[in-house]
Amino acid sequence: MPFNLGPGELLLILAIALVVLGPKKLPDVGRSLGKGMREFKESVSSISATDDDDDAKQLKKA
């Protein structure tokens, strides 16, 4: 798990988020956070894929 958090700590964080954001906004925040993480992951993997393609092209030239 990230940052070495256990189940107790995750429950505490979720409880605090529920109190701060409220039950109506919490699903929206979670959805937008997941979407942002997905976009970041896709951009990192696409950068990595283009780097691999560039490396393969350079090897073919050599």
Name residue, tokens 């605090």: 16
Residue 34, pLDDT > 50, answer yes
Confidence grade of residue 55 (pLDDT, cut at 50, 70, 90)? low
Q: Give the C-alpha separation, 15 to 46, whole Å.
A: 36
**50: pLDDT strictly greater than 80:** no
Cα distance between residue 58 and residue 35, in whole Å: 35
Instruction: Considering only residues 49 and 19, tell me which one the structure prediction assigns the higher pLDDT.
Output: 19
